Structure 1
């Protein structure tokens, strides 16, 4: 009797193991992973030597809001911040007189202001938006052409001449269809199909064009001082590009001199880019690199298996606060870290003469340091 029970249990266990193996190997998933070669991570050395300069941030309370993903000073001198809820908060630079300036019904990830003082916002759920000074929201465009939708509007910069440059982080995974901005970004970076791109919208003609494509999750964007070049973070491959702003449908992988890697093999996932003072460009590192993720770069089948697991089992990296500044030649001029990650998922920094505000994907306050 006992032997019969043992055999029955063993048979059931074998079936369970086979079922799990079949699930991990064959269950349909949305990604088709592409192999790529990750460089050996540099770690926190050289310009990124460990420090605690970002520790102990002062904070501005934002009530029930969270996720100040993008922060900027408006033409009116007010501080604006885009929240996870879809609200755009407006306040004094010290956090006083807070109010909801506007709500898009989506999730603004980046915004800038045009010459007329209206906010131009990149909302991955809605597209490229204009928000007037009296908070009226309208869609400038959600397509490059009738058969080419903008799937993941992310970061934005308005040139002095009026052209709006912005990133479409992924043409494969639109957040409105794939569980939100973070879930869609994980799928895109796990796949590595490099479907991200840089777009330009001309308000005068109402036309949108592709500046460059071939980026693994195109994210932050900033304009050079002379207005001729764009700096773009490629989150999925740990680097920052310098791209000719006048380029048209350029594949950054083509070897063209119009697109050059400015900063490569970063120690973490780069996110927002923001112009600071004295020529600085601030970069946020969302999380440090994970050796396990890099080890899977040339193993697309393993990455496909991982996507079948619960998200908390994915090698997404540990929390670590980190922002740094570069000049237009890619030299690191400042580096601020918080190994304890007291302020989670740092995505960027906004610099004024008095303060350095720190962006975050999920924080429940706005962090800042006196300058």
Structure 2
């Protein structure tokens, strides 16, 4: 009896990192309609990464080569077929989103270091690690506009990756649902950083619309993709505004990287299926309790490969799945050289398939 009382006290009183917020999760849509179960993502061919792990985002550079950041802090570069693999730079953090500016600098959203620039001579410098006196805790996605301005997400103001554990920090943020994620703009001309929009539950992938007037932004924690005006200022997306609209809602997984493909397609990775966390949405105490049990008992997303493509008006035009879980954390897709390269935050290889498959 005494042991049971001790266990009950531990499970109810032991301090945890989150202060969960109650919310209403939409009923999962299931795998029907445009998301009907299929195996179009199965059987990926693999490019070894020389022992590195976690090609979370893949960028096709202006030189025709592929760039990807990995868990060690390195940015790798290779030919489109995976040959000539080399370390292009080492940020010392955890590089996630990548894009090039007009001067040939590789712009990096680094979850540990902030917004970075890697010059053509491979020197690394910090562009922004604070905004308005607040630290940028979890830089995630990035997009460079034609006018040189840089748009990037700060996934959470509450949880920064510890020992480069981006997935652990993401899990805490989604569990808490305090919606502190935001979208930022960095202006290289003035070196100023400002907040475009906040109130997002784990702000993730960022992509500019073709006319450069809007940003597509993944909100992982609420299973949706937003369309937000680039001229917004201090917007809270939880308050109705003509400058922010939900483009894709109630997705079957956690939306992640956004990458422009061919013929107007926009590729989106779904990094894991929805699970029992939805049932805890209106039970903050239960989510707090969950953190007091071993992590092996947490209801983590089932390994399930899933990527989709949509158009600028929110119409799904492709849905590729691998129910086997061989590509478990599919964070995105890069379409280049007649191939689809599948981003994966936990993989030791870079998977790819023909774009014609």
TM-score scaled by length of structure 1: 0.94
Shift in Å at residue 180 of structure 1? 2.1
Q: Quote the residue 1:317 is aligned against.
A: 301
CA distance in 2, matches of 1:180, 1:220: 18
> Where does 1:332-343 land on structure 2 (aligned, <5 Å)?
332-343=316-327
CA distance in 2, matches of 1:19, 1:192: 29
Which of 216, 222, 226 does residue 207 from structure 2 map onto? 222
SS in structure 1 opposite 2:238? helix
CA distance in 2, matches of 1:179, 1:59: 25
Shift in Å at residue 311 of structure 1? 1.6
Q: Quote the residue 1:163 is aligned against.
A: 149
Q: Quote the residue 1:9 is aligned against.
A: none
Q: CA RMSD in A?
A: 1.0
2:203·2:217 contact (CA, 8 Å) conserved in 1? yes
Q: Which has the larger radius of gyration?
A: 1
Task: Encode CA deviations 1:133-156: one digit per residue, 9 max, x unaligned.
Answer: 1210000110112x2111110010
Structure 1 regions of 5+ residues with no counterpart?
1-13
Q: Quote the residue 1:307 is aligned against.
A: 291
Mapped pair 1:90 → 2:77: yes
Q: Quote the residue 2:124 is aligned against.
A: 137
SS in structure 2 opposite 1:109? strand
CA distance in 2, matches of 1:358, 1:179: 21
Q: Quote the residue 1:247 is aligned against.
A: 232
CA spacing shift, 1:289–1:62, aligned 2, 3 Å? same
Shift in Å at residue 344 of structure 1? 2.4
Shift in Å at residue 20 of structure 1? 1.0
Q: Quote the residue 2:138 is aligned against.
A: 152
CA distance in 2, matches of 1:310, 1:262: 37
CA distance in 2, matches of 1:17, 1:42: 40
Q: Quote the residue 2:193 is aligned against.
A: 208
2:46·2:350 contact (CA, 8 Å) conserved in 1? yes
Q: Quote the residue 1:57 is aligned against.
A: 44
Where does structure 1 differ by over 2 angstroms across 4 or more consecutive aligned residues? none
CA distance in 2, matches of 1:61, 1:122: 24
Which of 167, 177, 180 does residue 182 from structure 1 map onto? 167
> Aligned residues, how many?
355
Task: Encode CA deviations 1:305-333: one digit per residue, 9 max, x unaligned.
Answer: 10111222111221000001000111100
CA distance in 1, matches of 2:324, 2:304: 6
Task: Encode CA deviations 1:21-56: one digit per residue, 9 max, x unaligned.
Answer: 111111111111000000110111111001100000
Larger deviation: 187-196 or 304-313? 304-313
CA distance in 1, matches of 2:176, 2:63: 42
Which of 58, 71, 89 does residue 102 from structure 1 map onto? 89
Structure 2 regions of 5+ residues with no counterpart?
none
Shift in Å at residue 268 of structure 1? 0.6
Which of 32, 37, 60 does residue 45 from structure 1 map onto? 32
CA distance in 2, matches of 1:315, 1:261: 27
> Where does 1:260-299 land on structure 2 (aligned, <5 Å)?
260-290=245-275, 292-299=276-283
Shift in Å at residue 96 of structure 1? 0.8
CA distance in 1, matches of 2:209, 2:337: 20
Q: Quote the residue 1:5 is aligned against.
A: none
Task: Encode CA deviations 1:154-196: one digit per residue, 9 max, x unaligned.
Answer: 01000011010000000011114x8721111111100000000
2:71·2:164 contact (CA, 8 Å) conserved in 1? no
Which of 327, 330, 337 does residue 346 from structure 1 map onto? 330
Q: Quote the residue 2:59 is aligned against.
A: 72
